[in-house]
Amino acid sequence: MTRVLGPVIALSVIGLLVFVLAKGFGSDPHAVPFMLSGKKATNFKIKRLDTDEDVTLEQFKGQPVVINFWATWCGPCKMEHPVLEDAWRRYERQVVFLGIVFEDTEANTKRFLAENGHTFPQLFDPKSTVPVDYGVSGVPETYFITRDGVIKGKVAAPFSDPRQLDPLIGGILQ
Amino acid sequence: MNSTLGYGLVLLGLACAAFAAVVGLVTGMTRREGALVWVQRAVYGFAASMLLSNLVMVKALLEHDFSVKYVAQVGSKATPTIFTIVSLWSALEGSILFWGAIMGVYLFAFAWTYRREHGRYMQLALGVMAAIAVFFAFLIAGPANPWTALSNPPLDGPGPNPLLQNHPLMIIHPPMLYLGYVGMTVPFGIAAGALLRGELGDAWLVPLRKWTLVPWLFLSVGIILGSWWAYAVLGWGGYWAWDPVENASFMPWLTATAFMHSTMVLERKKSLKLWTIALALGSFVLTIIGTFMTRSGVFNSVHSFTQSDIGPTFLVFIAIILVFSVLVLTVRGHLLVAESHLETVVSREGSILVNNLVFVALTFTVLLGTLFPLVTEALQQKKISVGEPYFNAMALPLGLLMLFLMGVGPMLPWGKADPKVLTQQALIPGLLGLVTLPPVLAWRYAVWAPLGGGEKTLPAFFAALRSGDWMALATFGVGTFVTVVTLREMFLPAQQRMAEQKETLLTALVVSASRARRRFGGYVVHLGIVAIVVAVAASSAYRVAAEKTLKAGEAMQVGEYQVRFDGLAQGKEPHREWVAANVTVISPTGAQWQHHAVEAPRMNYYERSNDPIGSPLVHEMFFRDVYVSLRTYDGKTQSATFNAWVFPLVGWIWYSIPLLVLGTLIALWPQRKPVAQVKAEVPQGAATGTT
Amino acid sequence: MTALAVALSLVLSQGYAPQRQGLDPLEAEKEARVMRLGKQLRCAVCQGVSIADSPASMARAQLDKVRELVAEGKSDEQINAYFIERYGEWVLLEPTKGGLNAVLWVGPLALLGVGLLVIVLQSRRRPAALVTAPAEAAPAPSPDDALLAQVRADLEK
């Protein structure tokens, strides 16, 4: 009896171990869970880089909002910049676009924006409290917020084509 | 050209390994011993082709032959030569190729050492090892092939990962670990060979033990060097973070250490056979699981290489060796029946049993904690983290228990202990252990508390004791106890000889040590482990931290020391640029140590990395390190923000390496060699005893 | 001393994450709480390092948040809840003890307990109950087997 029991237990433990390890392949170990989906977006009050006036989330109440966290030291963010500008042009009248600069210097950001041009407001958050409030886990990250100020979803990767935003913006336009 | 030659050699190695595996296993099972010479030749062929393939890769790296995929991936003309050579193992494909070379060296060494004796198990042992070699050669030839030829070679490459270029320790830490990991193949082969053959006499035990001790030493040194590297490079003073890959190297170390102890019971009492063999097999399996963790991309770790598709191949291999191990133990289990019986726990064998239990419980904790996030994700679709606080909470008490056993075990006799003798023996070391506590407490209260930001009030003092300080204190007490016991056990036989044979201390010591090399060597290793444990306790419980922004010329206080900021400097090297904050460390006695330019805390800028990579200043002293990290700097205002720490005793972790090496060498030294050869080794041990 | 003109091409051209200073530490007692809480929270961009230990800018921002919440007088539970709300239980370096996680905390202790029990029971068992071990399958030592002789010699020590 015990001669059979031992190996059977050992083999089932092996099966379990291999199952658990194999399950691991499906998931990205670097992915950080995102919990704020469907939750009310935290309000903020930070200044616009070009005009120095304070911007709050509340002032856009009733309009869908897209917030992009980015920085000039992040290569993918720089590649994403023209894509977001394109997307903004497509939705100019329907959706508010905001850029929030993450952990960068004002000088670097201003230089980059001057060289590459920009349209929608870019906000500067000197203490990076907004990204923490929003559960950011790296840059670039783009948040989609409904008219009622509820976070509908986020994309934790750069966009390479403005059309990739269509379904997501469609979701917050309703 | 390079890629064809290198790949051809890999294929040749694969063919040789496959031949050795098939012939070794088949003729071994059918007991045709005449085929051994063919197995040996094939093993030599595998070793030679793997070594040559690695040499070709080094040549390709040095020539900057970017037509080879791996060179294009990690090479760069700007990288200094030494780091170009090191980049052989700086990324996935190269590290597996390097793994193949080490495998070749081990298999060659084993086959060569026993080329004349011990033929009965050689075929099967070599056959099993060669079968494992087939797996790795297959990985190199297929899923992780570094030799792919690029039709449009780039003009220059990105260079290796900046973290690896930042410190010379990175040159020796990975090879040491690989030597430890790969070396576990040999004990696995010996144990599996003996089991397959069904002859479990004493003859396999000595090679099994010796060939476990070799990788054990490399693994120990590799782990310590890795923690030293983390400490010297990462910039927050940490040396161990329970990262999945640190855990992966720690687990086989634990089981191999347990094996080394249980093997004593096996030899002496002819019991614990199944257990000991299982530990030998398990240590190898754990090294493979560890490699899987580093290479599969399933775990988030500092060490993980980029996502790769070798994970599934590895997983299949893990399943095969696990099932094989269980089956072979089941089929041959009847050979592993104990021939003696445990009379009482209070005996040498009893203490070793408890020691093994603690080692296995610790291994289980580490494995469980490392894998558990995968479990919750698979079963509950919930991501959780199991980090440092969990491992510390679970492992530190077990570690303390282990330390205690290290003192108790050597005092206990085999068989049954006489309580009276035991009390008598424990009295002096125990008292000395207690005597260490008041000075430490006094120092903690009067010197450390005010410096460490704590309050010098009795309530604050007791509150701190309750909240975890007691563990450090207990470690010092038990550490002293263990040291006294160990030294006594080391010198007692010599003392007897001096009394009986009228020999001088040195002669008596050399003779008694060389009569019982394993015992003596083992105690030297124990002293090294005590040094590590005490250093870990002291440096984590009694560190002092400070953070401050300084203008040039200003100084900050950290512990008893002052750190003065002397201004910023910058420099340019072919592979990087840096900005340094020159500092001078000033001791309480007024001694000044200048650390400028490359010796100062710095930010390094590499082309391949977005974040600057800091290098802290580690001002090493025997009893404490002053550690200064540059957090930010401002060129306009000539100011810089520093994090500074004083870590007591932290260096002892790495200073233990010579003790571990010395002890292992003493234990490994062949018994038949004349005593004169050992003489050179022993006086160092004697010196520690007389001080 | 003149200001350091950064003349390094990489530093200028490529753009690196500037390292910034955190908020000023709070008074000793509160700051100790900040550090203790920080040790338990996982940095969102690092490799399993706590926000108190990581030099990354994100960790600094997260630690500042802890400071802010401590300064506002929030309890430990409230502060943990703030981070769990955003990053899930993933953010806790020390997993909770409820539910399936109990395995994590009880498992090793159970192993230790069962092991100790087995050892104690083994030593209680009367030696008479032990079946005489079957003869070793190993062949009798032959005088020419030097290795075996050595093992014997080893064992006599």
Tell me what pLDDT residue B213 has.
94
Torsions phi, psi of C77, nearest 5? -65, -40
Of B81, B73, B56, nearest to B2 (Cα)? B56
Cβ contacts of C100 on chain B, cutoff 8 Å: 375-376, 379-380
Mark yes or no for CB contact A23/B610 under 8 Å: no
> Chain C closest CA to B398's CA: distance in Å?
10
Residue in A14, A20, A74 nearest the CB of B371: A20
* Res. B467 pLDDT band, cuts 50 70 90: low
Mark yes or no for CB contact A21/B315 under 8 Å: yes
State how far the Cα of B274 lies from the Cα of B254, in Å rounded to an integer: 18
Mark yes or no for CB contact A132/C45 under 8 Å: no
| ipTM confidence score | 0.84
DSSP assignment string, B540-604:
HHS-EEEEEEEETT-EEEETTEEEEEEEEEEEEETTEEEEEEEEEEE-TT--EEEE-GGGS-EEE
CA dihedral A143, A147, A148, A150 (to 10 degrees): -10
State how far the Cα of B42 lies from the Cα of B24, in Å rounded to an integer: 10
Tens digits of residue pLDDT in C8-45: 544 544 455 666 666 777 777 788 888 889 988 998 87
Average pLDDT over residues B255-262: 94
State how far the Cα of B228 lies from the Cα of B259, in Å rounded to an integer: 26
Mark yes or no for CB contact B298/A21 under 8 Å: yes
Tokens of B462: 């007791």
Of B579, B552, B565, nearest to B637 (Cα)? B552
Interface of A with B in 109-148 (CB under 8 A): none
Tens digits of residue pLDDT in B412-466: 888 887 888 888 888 888 999 899 888 888 888 788 877 765 666 777 777 767 7
Using only the alpha carbons of chain B, give its radius of gyration. Answer: 27
Kindly tell me if the per-residue pLDDT of B567 is higher than 60. yes
Torsions phi, psi of B317, nearest 5? -65, -45
| Summary mean pLDDT of chain C | 73
Kindly tell me if the per-residue pLDDT of B527 is higher than 60. yes
Tens digits of residue pLDDT in C103-129: 999 999 999 999 999 888 887 765 544
Topology of the domain comprising A32-173: Glutaredoxin (3.40.30)
| Summary mean pLDDT of chain B | 86
Cβ contacts of A129 on chain C, cutoff 8 Å: 61, 64-65, 68
Cis status of the peptide bond prior to A140, with omega within 30 of 0: yes
Q: What would the CATH number be for the domain defined by C10-91?
A: 1.10.8.640
Statement: B1-160 belongs to CATH 1.20.120: yes
Helix, strand, coil % in chain C, rounded to nearest 5: 55, 5, 40
Kindly tell me if the per-residue pLDDT of C142 is higher than 60. no
Give me the residue spans of the domains in chain B. 1-160, 166-334+348-399, 400-541+657-690, 544-648
Torsions phi, psi of B545, nearest 5? -125, 150
For the entire predicted model, the pTM comes to 0.88
Tens digits of residue pLDDT in B310-360: 778 888 999 999 999 999 988 888 777 777 777 788 888 889 999 999 999
Mark yes or no for CB contact C6/B368 under 8 Å: no
Tell me what pLDDT residue B42 has.
94
Kindly tell me if the per-residue pLDDT of A16 is higher than 90. no
Average pLDDT over residues B581-586: 93
Q: Count interface pairs A-C at CB distance under 8 A.
A: 66
Kindly list the strands in the beta sheet with B639-648, ordered across the sheet, starting from the edge strand earlier in the chain.
B544-551, B639-648, B624-634, B617-620
Cβ–Cβ contact A97 with C under 8 A: no
C7 class by beta-carbon count within 10 Å (0-12 exposed, 13-18 middle, 19+ buried): exposed
* Res. A91 pLDDT band, cuts 50 70 90: confident
Tokens of B159: 């260079």
Strands A96-101 and A65-70 turn out to be parallel
Tens digits of residue pLDDT in B203-222: 788 889 999 999 999 999 99
State how far the Cα of C125 lies from the Cα of C49, in Å rounded to an integer: 49
Q: Count interface pairs B-C at CB distance under 8 A.
A: 223
State how far the Cα of B465 lies from the Cα of B467, in Å rounded to an integer: 6
- Answer yes or no: are the C-beta atoms of B622 and B651 closer than 8 Å: yes
Chains that touch A (3 or more CB pairs under 8 A): B, C
Average pLDDT over residues A18-36: 77
Cβ–Cβ contact A62 with B under 8 A: no
Cβ–Cβ contact A140 with C under 8 A: no
Distances (CA, A) of B104 to B14, B93, B101, B133, B213: 11, 17, 5, 8, 19
